[in-house]
Amino acid sequence: MIPEIVAPGGTPAALVAAIDAGADTVYCGFRDATNARNYPGLNFTAADLQEGIAYAHARGRKVNVAINTYASAGNTRTWYDAIDTAAALGADAVIMADIALLDYTARHHPNLRRHLSVQAGAATVASMEYYYEFFGISRMILPRMFTLDEIAELKARAPVEIECFIFGSLSPMTEGRCSLSAYATGRSPNLCGVCSPAEFVRYDTVDGELLCRLGDFAINAFEPGEAAGYPTVCKGRYIAGDADPAYIFEEPECLNAAEYIGALRRAGICAFKIEGRQRGRFYVAEVVSAFRELIDAEARGEALTHHAGTLERLRRLAEGGEETRGAYRKGWR
């Protein structure tokens, strides 16, 4: 079986671009804190989602709705309303991390597929079984912390479908538990749906260098001509003591696991997820069409070395202009 491509749809135009480029499924969210990409100008109204689902379904594709932040205490109604709306509009699945939301969906919309978000940080067979037995999840999206061997072992014992990331920005391997953005700005992806919010970001040229700040913190400085990055706290270059500035947490690299398409398919992965709802429709179309080509080529038994031009197209879209294989091959062990 050829794994499906699950593509980001940050906006209605990106959803259309993803479908047209060959995505099997698009995931998107509402214009509020219920989803983990709550950035200015992004996301869908109910009317946008209705049109998007109609566009996808008319072409035999699917739309999954991410409601993957944690509901705030005393205000679960906003999150429940998002689930009800997604169900009423005919979404193919909802992607969630919060057990309250999983429970609500299982009780009120038992026929709506429930996918466990990477934000749940479920990293053991025991945790997978828990979410399956208590909330009836159909699929889990793997946290970006496993090697290829570990994924194959997990899949052999998992009672559910497994989706994994194939391309896009990386976060520290503590998904759903990272508080760096909350520390720097008071807002976090887990509760507010936004990491390193744009309203706290400032870029200034100081002594010829591009200095980028997030709130009160200097996150990085780039020399003229050096590839820059967004000031996500975990990807800052810091001076620890008297050491040289270094990327202490994460380097600003982009996951590209194209070379593992075959290994992941053989391990039983059912879907490849592309990160990037905050990116534009050009990015979505480029990445989806590239992976459509690579995944179909791999399924035909072709070597990816025959697709150097396509791999180069992907590299040009990488954050910071650099790629990594992430945890799939843990060279540091």
- Cα–Cα distance between 234 and 183 in angstroms, integer? 12
Binding residue for another protein, selected from 99, 106, 123, 228, defined by CB under 8 A: 228
Q: Binding mask 254-283 vs another protein (x if CB under 8 A, - otherwise)?
A: ------------------------xxxxxx
Beginning with the edge strand found earlier in the chain, give each strand of the sheet holding 217-222 in spatial order.
201-206, 209-214, 217-222
Within residues 149-208, the interface with another protein by CB under 8 A covers 197-199, 201-205
Structure-token pair, residue 312: 């180069």
Closer of 15 and 97 to another protein (Cβ): 15
- CA-nearest of 260, 257, 262, 269 to 156 is 269
**Per-residue tokens: 146:** 């496993």
CB 224 within 8 A of CB 208: yes
8 A C-beta contact, residue 235 and residue 252: yes
Query: What amino acid occupies position 226?
Result: E
Shortest CB 284 distance to another protein, Å: 9
Beta carbon of residue 160, minimum distance to another protein (angstroms, whole number): 33
Residue 3 carries which side chain, given as an amino acid letter? P
Chain residues 99-138 in contact with another protein, contact rule CB under 8 A:
none
Residues between 1 and 40 that touch another protein (CB under 8 A): 10-14, 16-17, 39-40
Residue from 22, 168, 229, 236 in contact with another protein (CB under 8 A): 229
Q: Minimal CA–CA distance to 252: which of 326, 322, 166, 181?
A: 322
From 77, 206, 244, 301, residue interacting with another protein (rule: CB under 8 A):
244
User: Residue 309, interface with another protein (CB under 8 A)?
Assistant: yes
Residues β-bridged to residue 255: 168, 324
Residues that bind another protein (CB under 8 A): 10-14, 16-17, 39-42, 45, 48, 197-199, 201-205, 210, 222, 224-230, 240-244, 246-248, 278-283, 286, 308-309, 311-312, 315-321, 323, 325, 331-332
